Every structure is written in C-alpha cells, then in structure tokens.
C-alpha cells in the first residue's frame, strides 16, 4: 500500500470514529446560543453580533465606544487613555511628545 493510500485509510478511520462518538454535556447543562462567542448569552447580550468589551456594566455584550479601545498610533495604549493618541509610545513608560 502506498503512503498516500495509508494516509487516506487513517483519515477515513479517524473520521468514522469521530462521527460515531457521542457529544456529551455535563449533567444538567445545556447549550446556550452565543453568536459572537463573547461569553454573554444572546438572550441577554445587548449586541449579540459584536464581541464584549470585558467590562461588566449596563452595556454587557457590546464593545466600548471606539475611543476606549481604538489605538490610532498602534502603540498598544488605547486612545481613550493615551495622552498622545497620535504619537506612538516607545514602551519605556514615558509618553512621547
């Protein structure tokens, strides 16, 4: 048997095993829809198609306003807290002018 035929046989065997394996959830648990996979269930997500901002507040499920997370100068400091949002930081802890 050629190597290609052997790999094909192994792939078919693996797929048949995976297809036959039942998917189990822990007892008492259920699948909860979360389209954007942000951890906030769609039923309570105020923005079910946009990822969460990670801040527990009244807008759970929604990203923060753009200025809070956007980084115009790409220095790793969000514009909302960057003293010089259009001038990149040199990563020494001192804001550049």
Which segment, 16-20, 39-43, 60-64, 90-94, is predicted with the most confidence on average? 39-43
Q: Global pTM?
A: 0.33
Q: How far is residue 5's CA from residue 50's CA, in Å, rounded to a whole number?
A: 44
What value does the mean pLDDT of the chain take? Answer: 70
Contact 11, 2 (CB under 8 A): no
Distance from C-alpha of 47 to C-alpha of 32, rounded to nearest angstrom: 16
Looking at residue 68, its pLDDT comes to 60
Q: What is the pLDDT of residues 33-73, one digit of tens each?
A: 888 777 778 888 777 776 665 555 555 556 666 556 677 88
Q: Are 80 and 67 in contact (CB under 8 A)?
A: yes
Q: Can you give the residue ranges of every domain in the chain? A: 32-90
């Amino acid at each position: 048997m050629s190597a290609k035929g052997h790999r094909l046989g192994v792939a078919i065997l693996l797929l048949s095993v995976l297809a036959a394996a039942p998917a189990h959830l822990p007892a008492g648990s259920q699948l909860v829809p979360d389209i954007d996979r942000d951890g906030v269930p769609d039923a309570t997500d105020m923005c079910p198609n946009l990822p969460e901002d990670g801040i527990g507040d009244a807008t759970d499920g929604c990203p923060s306003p753009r200025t809070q997370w956007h980084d115009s100068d790409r220095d790793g400091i969000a514009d909302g807290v960057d003293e010089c949002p259009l001038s990149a930081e040199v990563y020494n802890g001192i804001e550049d002018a």
